[in-house]
Amino acid sequence: MRAVVYRGPYDVEVAKKKDPAIEHPADAILQVTRAAICGSDLHLLHGLVPDTRVGSTFGHEFTGIVEEVGPAVRALKKGDRVVVPFNIACGACFYCSRNLTACCENSNPNSDVVGGCFGYSHTTGGYDGGQAQYVRVPYADVGPMKIPDDMEDEQVLFLSDILPTGYQAAEMGEIKGGEVVVVFGAGPVGLFTAKSAWLLGAGRVIVVDHVEYRLDFARRYAGVETVNFKKVDDIVMYLKEICGGRGPDVCVDAVGMEAEGSTPHRLLGLKLKMEAGAATVIGWCIDTVRKGGNVSIIGVYGPPWNFVPVGTAMNKGLTLRMNQCNVKRYMPHLLKHIREGRIDAKAIITHRFPLRQAKEAYRIFSDKRDGCVKCVLLPQA
């Protein structure tokens, strides 16, 4: 088969690779029909995630058609169309049975930090991802959700990650009705966080970024106010000022480890590797949110540590919530929102490429060129 293959930092190519095979009785093999490039794939591409091995295939947002199932698989059969959560989860361990599938203890037995994920380095289990013609899906009875016959793959593709991730980010903000919510990051996750904040009852939603076309998109797509942090003197003071002096009730970090906006963080985190990426946005969230407010962190950070103002968080009495998204528990609920027209997830796709042009797709997405919000690869084209 052909697959996107990692060759080193800033270097991927499309190459021939051995077809995946059933390795465990509960595995399935999918023929991939759509595979998106996620903002967090860029952290892998940029060499920031430990144990990203040369030869690995990225891609944790995909849909596909079941090609083959292992002898223990009951819920799927050949020909089923499915969308697959990025978490690999056994469905029965201590965590899965509490619906914390991101923390599954059977899908990444080498680690007690994180469960298994598709295409996200050997730190999360070393499974190949879906940016390929075929992919192996472990625990196939647990994660994959059948796509309703009347729906297209692209309508539900983002149930695999960014839509539930955005929803969970807003949900962790513990919105009770009427709150002011600031979302840092106008990328795909930030957009879905903003949409979800409205669904959860926010009174005002403000999205912060520095990429003007993405802020335009956020205004149109999510009906939010926007702020370009490069156009104000001090983003923390500015946000406090426009939020009645105290600051917003909820701040969400939908950016993660490659944030712009702080030279010291970029130097220490991205150049010198003295912290796990630039934790600029966590600092902004803690400094901006009102006392007693909530900070929700959904942006990805690597181990082992980051420089964040914990003392300020403690003194302000903040609640900090964070987790990889437990995708499975959100799928049916968000499918309903898509079906009933409250969320048009497909509308954020700005670019589609055949798999053979994946290198170009990564370049455009990474450089934020050509008005790119979301890239989708077509592995069978």
Partner 1 sequence: MTLQERGVDLPPERRPGVPMEKTPPRPLAHGEHSLPPVSSSLLPPRGVSGILRRKAYRVPGHRPAHWMMLLLADRIEVMEFKLRRLLRWLLLPAAALFLLRVVRR
Interface residues for partner 1 in 283-302 (CB under 8 A)?
302
Euclidean distance between the first and the last CA atom of the chain, given in angstroms as a whole number: 13
Kindly state whether residue 343 participates in binding partner 1, applying the rule CB under 8 A. Answer: yes
User: Minimum distance between the CB of residue 90 and partner 1, rounded to whole angstroms?
Assistant: 6
Interface residues for partner 1 in 124-153 (CB under 8 A)?
125-128, 138-139, 141-142
Report which secondary-structure segment, H or E, holds 322. strand 319-322
If you count them, how many residues does the chain have?
381
Return the structure tokens found at 209. Answer: 């970024």
Burial of 242 (0-12, 13-18, 19+ CB in 10 A): middle
* Residue closer to partner 1, measured from CB, 90 or 182: 90
User: Minimum distance between the CB of residue 242 and partner 1, rounded to whole angstroms?
Assistant: 20
Amino acid at 152: E
Interface residues for partner 1 in 152-171 (CB under 8 A)?
168, 171
Among 78, 99, 314, 371, contact with partner 1 (rule: CB under 8 A): 99
User: Minimum distance between the CB of residue 231 and partner 1, rounded to whole angstroms?
Assistant: 28
Interface residues for partner 1 in 25-84 (CB under 8 A)?
25-27, 47, 50-56, 72, 75
Given a contact cutoff of 8 angstroms between Cβ atoms, the answer to whether 339 and 147 are in contact is no
How many Cβ atoms are within 10 Å of 201's Cβ, its own excluded? 13
Among 13, 148, 264, 305, contact with partner 1 (rule: CB under 8 A): 305
Interface residues for partner 1 in 182-211 (CB under 8 A)?
195-196, 198-202
* Residue closer to partner 1, measured from CB, 30 or 375: 30
Interface residues for partner 1 in 5-24 (CB under 8 A)?
7-9, 23-24
The rounded distance, in Å, linking the Cα atoms of 47 and 236 is 30
Among 219, 329, 346, 352, contact with partner 1 (rule: CB under 8 A): 329
Return the structure tokens found at 224. Answer: 């939010």
Return the structure tokens found at 155. Answer: 């309508």
In a 3-state reduction of DSSP, which class is residue 137?
strand
Kindly state whether residue 310 participates in binding partner 1, applying the rule CB under 8 A. Answer: no
Among 19, 77, 110, 146, contact with partner 1 (rule: CB under 8 A): 110
Kindly state whether residue 93 participates in binding partner 1, applying the rule CB under 8 A. Answer: yes
From 120-128, 232-240, 310-318, 345-353, give the range in contact with partner 1 by CB under 8 A: 120-128
Among 135, 172, 227, 300, contact with partner 1 (rule: CB under 8 A): 172
Please choose, from the candidates 299, 341, 328, the residue with its C-alpha nearest in 3D space to the C-alpha of residue 190: 299
DSSP secondary structure letter of residue 267 = I
Task: List all residues 6 or more positions away from 73 whose beta carbon is below 8 Å from its beta carbon.
Answer: 25, 26, 27, 28, 140, 141
